[in-house]
Amino acid sequence: MRIDDGWLPGARRLPSPNQDERPAGEVSLLLLHSISLPPGTFGGEHIERLFTNRLDPEAHPFFATIAELRVSAHLLIRRDGECVQFVPFQARAWHAGRSRWRDGGRERRALNDFALGIELEGDEVSPYTGAQYRALAAVTRALLEAYPALDEARITSHARVAPLRKSDPGPAFDWAYFRQEMERIRS
């Protein structure tokens, strides 16, 4: 799989208005997130509606608290492994929020400027699916090939860059299994 002009081949494209240009064009960090809407519920179109500013605040009591958010991610990987791309990888998606990353000896902020955001449909306590790990590993391999400043040491979780604010993708995400899938693809 190769990235084509910032888009993942085979991914369903659903462009989000919540994006802009990267100030320096740098892509050097991959942030993994999790999302379920309503919380703990999988399937449906609510995540897509949130990332495209079409979430109905009256469809669920929780939605009233988030419907005005202007957020996005580059990619959503659904429970069945389907990939939905909202923002081309060379553009800045709005996913990291207030976060910090230690890059060598320096602390960096404004992570959206240089990070890619991949959302896994899930929550922090439910196991992710094999289809999600396979899709994530394939996408990650393609991103590592497309963006030379990105390497395996620059793949982390939202929880690690915003530990007082976020906990995703949570303890349910199996980092060892993800690495195993990455190695399987490399072979």
- Residue listed under structure tokens 């349910």: 172
Average pLDDT over residues 54-68: 97
Q: pLDDT averaged over the chain?
A: 96
- Residue listed under structure tokens 């449909």: 121
Q: Is the pTM of this model over 0.95?
A: yes
Cα separation, 184 vs 32, whole angstroms: 20
The pLDDT-based confidence of 62 (bands split at 50, 70, 90) is very high
Does 187 have pLDDT greater than 70? no
Average pLDDT over residues 128-146: 98
The residue annotated as part of the active site, out of 48, 68, 82, 119, is 119
Instruction: Please report the pLDDT score of residue 77 as a whole number.
Output: 98
Average pLDDT over residues 70-79: 98
Name the nearest CA neighbour of 96 among 81, 86, 105, 109.
109
CB-based contact 83:75 (threshold 8 Å):
yes
CB-based burial label for 95 (10 Å; 0-12, 13-18, 19+): buried
Instruction: Please report the pLDDT score of residue 148 as a whole number.
Output: 95
Is 48 one of the catalytic residues? Answer: no
Domains of the chain: 12-186 (3.40.80.10)
Report which of residues 2 and 45 the model is more confident about: 45
